[in-house]
């Protein structure tokens, strides 16, 4: 009798163990069908609070709720089998105290089945990262440009491009690394700084506008597929799906109006008696 073992989903310790090894590949995912397409090719999928902007047309990620994150986290888990799934904790759901963060993280992990959470912030969040890690919650950190702080930052712009701000971001990364983050996203910071952080911290770094020296890279799926009209400098469009979708819809509309769709092959004949 043959014994068939199910494929094991990657875990936070698997990602942490990749420090200095083969580059870690990641993309965002918000839907079951895109998760199914992405799953064979990536090491982890991030259910990012960017879904507020990508899916719901919000100006920022600030209005995103825990319920929104859980709903899309469940969808991504259903659509995937191999990659680690990480879910963002949205603004206002964790900053109040380590206890608040644990309550939110526990709910997200229980209700989605995901393997880790991500939160934004450096030194100010180190106590929370340690509190969560000590209680069995795998935490991915996020420093540099932190979109949830847009009302404080004023705009989405690259950071750490001068000596003073670079020193602060380096301290942020060191703080959450020492607190127990299993990996750290470095967003929109100067390339030399991202390289330095990668060399100095123990957890693997995941760049998004960082450096090719980072231990891995992540992009928003819709950005790299060409579905977004405006994208940051750090995005490379690996396809132009947006225009193709527009062309397909235009062709469909034209055939419906011309009554050439549906054709005989798309409709059902009555059963013969």
Going by the annotation, the residues of the binding site for 3-methyl-2-oxobutanoate are 49-50, 88, 118
Distance CA 100, CA 95 (A): 7
Number of Cβ atoms within 10 Å of the Cβ of 265:
5
Distance CA 27, CA 19 (A): 18
If you search the block for the tokens 């693997």, which residue do you land on? 204
Distance CA 226, CA 41 (A): 19
Number of Cβ atoms within 10 Å of the Cβ of 95:
16
Distance CA 94, CA 105 (A): 8
Distance CA 182, CA 269 (A): 59
Residue stretches of the annotated binding site for Mg(2+): 49, 88, 120
Contact 175, 200 (CB under 8 A): no
Element at 250 (helix H, strand E)? helix 241-257
Whether residue 200 lies in the annotated active site: no
Phi, psi of 76 (to 5 degrees): -65, -40
- Which residue in 59, 111, 127, 187 is the catalytic one? 187
If you search the block for the tokens 């440009």, which residue do you land on? 145
User: Most distant CA pair in the chain: distance in Å?
Assistant: 84
Distance CA 190, CA 242 (A): 30
User: Which residues are annotated as catalytic?
Assistant: 187
């Amino acid at each position: 009798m043959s014994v068939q073992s199910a494929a094991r989903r990657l875990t936070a310790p698997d990602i942490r163990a990749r420090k200095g090894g083969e580059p870690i590949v990641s993309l965002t995912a918000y839907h079951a069908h895109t998760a199914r397409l992405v799953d064979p090719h990536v090491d982890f999928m991030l259910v990012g609070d960017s879904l507020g902007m990508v899916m719901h047309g919000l100006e920022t990620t600030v209005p995103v709720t825990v319920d929104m994150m859980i709903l899309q986290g469940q969808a991504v888990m259903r659509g995937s089998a191999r990659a680690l799934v990480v879910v963002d904790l949205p603004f206002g759901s964790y900053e109040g105290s380590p206890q608040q963060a644990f309550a939110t993280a526990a709910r997200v992990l229980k209700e989605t089945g995901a393997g880790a959470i991500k939160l934004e912030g450096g030194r100010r969040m180190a106590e929370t990262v340690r509190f969560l890690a000590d209680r069995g919650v795998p935490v991915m950190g996020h420093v540099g440009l932190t979109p949830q702080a847009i009302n404080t930052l004023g705009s989405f712009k690259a950071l750490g491009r001068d000596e003073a701000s670079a020193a602060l971001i380096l301290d942020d990364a060191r703080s959450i690394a020492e607190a127990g983050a299993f990996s750290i996203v470095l967003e929109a910071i100067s390339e030399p700084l991202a390289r330095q952080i990668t060399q100095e911290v123990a957890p693997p770094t995941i760049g998004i506008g960082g450096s090719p020296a980072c231990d891995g890279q992540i992009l928003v799926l819709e950005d790299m597929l060409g579905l977004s009209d405006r994208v940051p400098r750090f995005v490379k469009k690996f396809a132009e799906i947006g225009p193709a979708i527009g062309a397909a819809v235009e062709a469909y509309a034209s055939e419906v109006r011309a009554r050439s769709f549906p054709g005989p092959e798309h409709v059902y004949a009555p059963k013969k008696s």
